[in-house]
């Protein structure tokens, strides 16, 4: 099974300026998060961010926040480690609104009325990365799995203050049913072919 750009959304968890210097391999991790946001914009994949306890930890790194905004996304302030508890699920899967019954059908008895199709529930595949991997990233990913999203964790855009905690998070997420992949895997699975109109721009991002 490969990622489908048309069914994907990207979630970037807590790349906050006050936190990042303490994170293992933080420069590489942040660079990959930026690539993911820009890749998503190229492929018209919705992008969302989160920030944990912003009063204490501050906003996300400015460059990443700008990349999220440039992709048309927004950032969810949260206090729970699991962003689903603060409403992320509603952002990713808005309530389905049934369309009104059309035209002359209103004159029929209710049991004979044929309602117009409900709005599509949208994109169910969540590509997620963030910090710290063993706390907010992991708890949010597990929360999304509980909400029956398909969760794909971009490992080279995730980290923790220690390598051991990061790796333990990956082990647990894989065991819970999340798919693990890398930034370049996301890029080429979203593209599928070198004939895609965004191929050259995508290649420039991953090189």
Task: Give residue 108's pLDDT.
Answer: 54
C-alpha pair distances (Å), 159 with each of 20, 115, 130, 148, 205: 9, 48, 7, 24, 21
Instruction: Kindly write down the DSSP assignment for every residue of 117-160, as one continuous string.
Output: PPPP----EEEEEEBSIIIIIHHHHHHHHHTT-EEEEEGGG-B-
Compute the distance between CA of residue 76 and CA of residue 143 in angstroms, rounded to an integer.
Answer: 15
Nearest to 141 by CA among 189, 95, 183, 181: 181
Task: Give residue 104's pLDDT.
Answer: 52
Query: Is residue 190 classed exposed, middle or buried when 0-12, 13-18 and 19+ CB atoms within 10 A define those classes?
Result: buried
Q: What is the pTM of this model?
A: 0.87
Compute the distance between CA of residue 86 and CA of residue 198 in angstroms, rounded to an integer.
Answer: 34
Task: Give residue 118's pLDDT.
Answer: 36
| Binned average pLDDT, 10 residues per bin, the chain of 207 residues | 95 96 96 97 97 94 96 96 96 65 51 42 91 98 96 98 97 97 97 94 91
Domains of the chain: 5-93+123-206 (3.40.50.850)
Pairing of strands 47-52, 74-78: parallel
Using DSSP, state whether 25 is helix, strand or coil: coil
Give residue for tokens 């090189």: 207
């Amino acid at each position: 099974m490969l990622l489908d750009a048309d069914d994907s959304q990207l979630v970037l968890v807590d790349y906050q300026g006050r936190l990042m210097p303490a994170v293992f391999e933080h420069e590489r991790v942040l660079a990959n998060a930026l690539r993911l946001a820009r890749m998503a914009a190229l492929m018209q994949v919705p992008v969302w961010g989160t920030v944990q306890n912003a009063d204490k930890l501050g906003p996300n790194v400015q460059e990443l926040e700008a990349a999220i905004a440039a992709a048309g996304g927004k950032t969810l302030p949260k206090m729970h480690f699991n962003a689903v508890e603060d409403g992320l699920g509603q952002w990713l899967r808005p309530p389905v609104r049934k369309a009104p019954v059309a035209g002359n059908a209103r004159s029929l008895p209710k049991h004979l009325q044929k309602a117009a199709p409900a709005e599509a529930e949208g994109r169910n595949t969540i590509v997620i990365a963030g910090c710290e991997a063993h706390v907010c990233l992991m708890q949010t990913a597990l929360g999304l799995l509980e909400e029956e999203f398909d969760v794909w964790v971009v490992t080279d855009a995730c980290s923790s203050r220690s390598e051991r905690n990061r790796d333990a998070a990956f082990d647990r997420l894989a065991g819970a049913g999340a798919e693990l992949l890398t930034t370049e895997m996301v890029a080429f699975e979203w593209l599928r072919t070198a004939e895609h109109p965004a191929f050259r721009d995508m290649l420039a991002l991953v090189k």
